[in-house]
Amino acid sequence: MYSTYVLFSKKTLRYYTGSTDDIENRLREHNSGETKSIRNGIPWKVIHIERFKTRVESVRKEKQIKARGAKRYLESINQSG
């Protein structure tokens, strides 16, 4: 099972979108500083997860969210749901 996720940092007020087959491990990596590009936002919190059967579907959703912007994407699904 693959996951597309959105993280949020209260420290930087920024969102981060990614995809993985192990969300718990990936969050641990992000919060331990292993991901250099978002290290300054530690601690990151998972605020949204969507699960997919294939990596292709998960990466497709990741690109869709990034193209729209995580904040706008989350606002749109909260309004429709």
For residue 81, what pLDDT is reported?
56
- Mean pLDDT over 4-8 rounds to 99
> How far apart are alpha carbons 28 and 11 in whole angstroms?
17
CATH topology of domain 2-80: GIY-YIG endonuclease (3.40.1440)
Instruction: Please state, as a whole number, how many other Cβ atoms lie within 10 Å of the Cβ of residue 50.
Output: 16
Domain assignments of the chain as residue spans, ordered by start: 2-80
Residue holding tokens 């995809």?
A: 19
- Per DSSP bridges, beta strands 44-52 and 14-20 are unpaired
Query: pLDDT per residue over 10-64, tens digit each?
Result: 999 999 999 999 999 999 999 999 888 899 999 999 999 999 999 999 999 999 9
At 12, which amino acid appears?
T
Residue 7 near residue 62, CB atoms below 8 Å? no
For residue 35, what pLDDT is reported?
84
pTM equals 0.92
